[in-house]
């Protein structure tokens, strides 16, 4: 667990944040200039706070009161940035092994080649960064951070420069890393879609202060109030390819089977599914005689309304965020606990390689 009580004043910007993060994946979310990266830099040791304390796993990394300051290289914290920040003169193998070689032998818990294999990088070991795609560079950056056997992984807008296909793929890898290596993470982003997809808890920052600390979906309303972009919310879900016909392919997502366009994929392949919140229709009763191929029941778990927009979280064996209007909500009589039907076209579903 990491605990912090950080105060920082720099160039007319003030950060005053306190909190505790558990061993899961915690997102730090908020608009530009909220203090997200500043908080990560304080935790990593790149920036020294003016006052406060930072602790990790029972060890004090910084305390102004006790005059404690642990240098960044001794904090056992891995960091992944938006651009990957790879060494351009080293190949993939050299990048991954760089920090690992600096560790004492008894600290080298994770083997670089095993990490590379886990992240699907084994065939790229001899390639330089300029010969990699954006998604591949980010996977190398993650592998390099993991090779230092960190107690905590910090990710600062790691997917901001990637397209939807690669974002879904990297999110899937990060979730696997968390489970496989039991690696706690702090994930900084301004994307609600990413936060809801990956995090178990989220902290909403605004103007250098904590506005909320709750389940990611419960911060949707706060994000709207803080100026967050919720117009393009995507449900990003892990799936497995099922059966195919000449026109359709099914993808199993949790307990739900989703129909999408025909895909040239084999049954059992892992994929990432993207479905816009504004592409889903909610119905109070099961519709009939319509062209949409996806109709399945669920129960509304939460509802948030803000400035004419409403977002409902529906549990259908997998959780979906749905966008609708307040008029539609009122006319349908939908509230938390309501049984509803989710309706969307197969053409609304995007499927990417995991």
Starting at the earlier edge strand, list the strands of the sheet with 309-315.
281-283, 339-344, 294-306, 309-315, 319-325
C-alpha–C-alpha distance, residues 28 and 75, integer Å = 20
User: 194 and 270 in one domain?
Assistant: no
CB 348 within 8 A of CB 326: no
Looking at residues 237-261, what average pLDDT do you find? Answer: 89
User: 50 and 165 in one domain?
Assistant: yes
Residue 255's domain comprises: 235-353
Percent of the chain with pLDDT over 70: 92
Last residue of some domain: 179, 194, 229?
A: 229
Last residue of some domain: 185, 210, 229?
A: 229
User: 324 and 220 in one domain?
Assistant: no
Beta bridge partners of 53: 5, 63
Number of domains comprising the chain? 2
User: 200 and 279 in one domain?
Assistant: no
Confidence band, pLDDT 50/70/90 cuts, at residue 298: very high
The pLDDT value recorded for residue 307 is: 60
C-alpha–C-alpha distance, residues 155 and 349, integer Å = 28
Confidence band, pLDDT 50/70/90 cuts, at residue 198: confident
User: Tens digits of per-residue pLDDT, 41-98?
Assistant: 999 999 999 999 999 988 999 999 999 999 998 888 988 887 767 888 989 998 998 8
CATH number at residue 324: 2.40.50.100
Exposure b/e, 248-275, CB count within 10 A at least 16 = b: ebbbbbeebbbbbeeeebeeeeebbbbb
User: 256 and 211 in one domain?
Assistant: no
User: 206 and 77 in one domain?
Assistant: yes
Residue 74: C-alpha distances to residues 59, 61, 102, 149, 213 (Å): 12, 9, 11, 12, 29
Looking at residues 13-24, what average pLDDT do you find? Answer: 84
CATH number at residue 87: 3.40.50.300
User: 249 and 219 in one domain?
Assistant: no
User: 154 and 45 in one domain?
Assistant: yes
Residue 213 token pair: 């600390």
The pLDDT value recorded for residue 306 is: 62
Q: Determine the Cα angle at 344 with ends 340 and 349, to 5°.
A: 130
The pLDDT value recorded for residue 225 is: 44
User: 314 and 204 in one domain?
Assistant: no
Confidence band, pLDDT 50/70/90 cuts, at residue 223: low
User: 285 and 159 in one domain?
Assistant: no
Q: What is the pTM of this model?
A: 0.74
The pLDDT value recorded for residue 84 is: 65
DSSP H or E stretch at residue 40: helix 36-44
Last residue of some domain: 166, 195, 229?
A: 229
User: Tens digits of per-residue pLDDT, 133-150?
Assistant: 888 888 888 888 888 888
User: 191 and 241 in one domain?
Assistant: no
Residue 40: exposure state from Cβ atoms within 10 A (0-12, 13-18, ≥19): buried
User: 263 and 116 in one domain?
Assistant: no
- Name the average pLDDT for the chain: 84
């Amino acid at each position: 667990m990491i605990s912090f009580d950080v105060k920082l004043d720099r160039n007319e910007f003030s950060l005053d944040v306190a909190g505790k993060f558990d061993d899961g994946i915690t997102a730090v979310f908020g608009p530009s200039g909220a203090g997200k990266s500043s908080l990560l830099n304080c935790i990593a040791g790149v920036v020294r706070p003016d006052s406060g304390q930072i602790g990790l796993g029972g060890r004090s990394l910084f305390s102004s009161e006790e005059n404690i300051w642990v240098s960044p290289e001794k904090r056992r914290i891995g960091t992944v940035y938006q651009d990957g920040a790879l060494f351009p003169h080293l190949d993939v193998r050299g990048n991954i092994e760089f920090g690992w070689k600096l560790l004492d032998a008894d600290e080298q818990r994770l083997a670089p080649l095993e990490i590379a294999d886990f992240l699907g990088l084994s065939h790229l070991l001899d390639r330089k960064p300029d010969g990699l795609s954006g998604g591949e560079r980010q996977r190398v950056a993650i592998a390099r951070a993991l090779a230092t056997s960190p107690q905590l992984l910090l990710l600062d807008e790691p997917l901001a420069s990637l397209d939807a296909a690669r974002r879904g793929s990297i999110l899937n890898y990060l979730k696997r890393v968390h489970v496989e290596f039991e690696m706690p993470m702090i994930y900084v982003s301004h994307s609600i879609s990413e936060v809801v997809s990956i995090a178990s808890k989220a902290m909403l920052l605004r103007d250098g202060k904590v506005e909320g600390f709750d389940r990611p979906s419960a911060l949707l309303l706060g994000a709207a109030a803080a100026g967050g972009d919720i117009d393009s919310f995507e449900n990003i879900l892990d799936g497995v390819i099922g059966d195919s016909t000449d026109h359709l392919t099914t993808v199993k997502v949790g307990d739900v089977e989703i129909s999408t366009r025909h895909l040239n994929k084999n049954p059992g392949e892992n994929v990432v599914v993207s479905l816009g919140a504004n592409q889903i229709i909610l119905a109070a009763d099961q519709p009939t005689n319509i062209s949409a191929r996806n109709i399945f029941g669920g129960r509304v778990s939460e509802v948030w309304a803000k400035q004419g927009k409403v977002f409902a979280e529906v549990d259908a064996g997998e959780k979906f965020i749905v966008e609708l209007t307040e008029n539609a909500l009122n006319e349908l009589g939908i509230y938390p606990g309501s049984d509803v039907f989710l309706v969307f076209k197969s053409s609304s579903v995007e499927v990417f390689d995991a």
